[in-house]
Structure 1
Amino acid sequence: MSEEKTKKNITVFGQETEFDGEIEFTDSLVITGKFNGSINATGSLEVESSALCSVTSMKAKSIVISGNVTGPIEADECVELCSGSCVKGDISSRRIRIADDVDFEGSVSMVDSEPSGELFSLVSDEYKSAIVLKSNNPK
């Protein structure tokens, strides 16, 4: 039974697939066709060499790109741009790997794995006030 829990589902959008809209997933997605829209995922994403993606946002745990992506990319762990890929958009990630022969136009922001400092020192004063007010208001 523990083996079943570790297995991940992998969904593949084939080369003939054209998808317009928003998609959310928790396991793995491989795109080999055309995708237009936004991706918000907690799983891993792979964009194959035959794929054409135009996104308003692309967010996943890890992202491997071998095809063409236009739009902003954000990964919680890692972004990998493979040889022959074409990316036009800003990238935000903890780690990034860019192979030779990659056409990349955009900026890269490296994010920390954990915020430094105390949690409440990082939030706004307005948010702090709301928390204090709510905690002082018994139900």
Structure 2
Amino acid sequence: MMEGKEIPHPNPMKEWNTFHNQAGEVLGEEFWQDIAGLIPNTSPRIDIYYTSATVVVLVELPGLQSPDQIAILLEGQTLVMEGEIPRLYPVTDNRITQKERFFGSFRRSLPMPKPVSMIGIHAKYTQGLLTIELQIEREVQQTPIPIDFT
């Protein structure tokens, strides 16, 4: 029986970085700049990492003035964020020559990479960056599953 062993998870960032580097070597470094101009950003940029005790979510949210502009919920093991990033300048889209930053309404659902607790969640917004810290659940609930042999 394999009690207490953690199942390894694939690392999509490692695979993406390998692809990114290989494509850059073949197609040239400007390739990614050209692609970035074609694909619109539909939500804020996010980083997620974990330590031995916490899962940390970093969200770029420039221009927020109040906590009323964003809602954060933990639904099971999925962090849900909803809000709106205001446009900080009065220029219309037809006058923008390069657009890489996101602004507008968004909703993100982020599955947590480790089991997290509903207790001890801390969120802080400073200088346009929202940092959310969630405590990793120490006791993973394990339920044996009986097997019917016939």
User: Which interval holds the TM-score relative to the shorter structure?
Assistant: under 0.3
Higher normalized strand content (fraction of residues): 1
Report the TM-score when normalising by structure 2.
Answer: 0.23
Instruction: Identify the structure with bigger relative contact order (alpha carbons < 8 Å, sequence gap 6+).
Output: 2
Report the TM-score when normalising by structure 1.
Answer: 0.25
Bigger radius of gyration among the two: 2
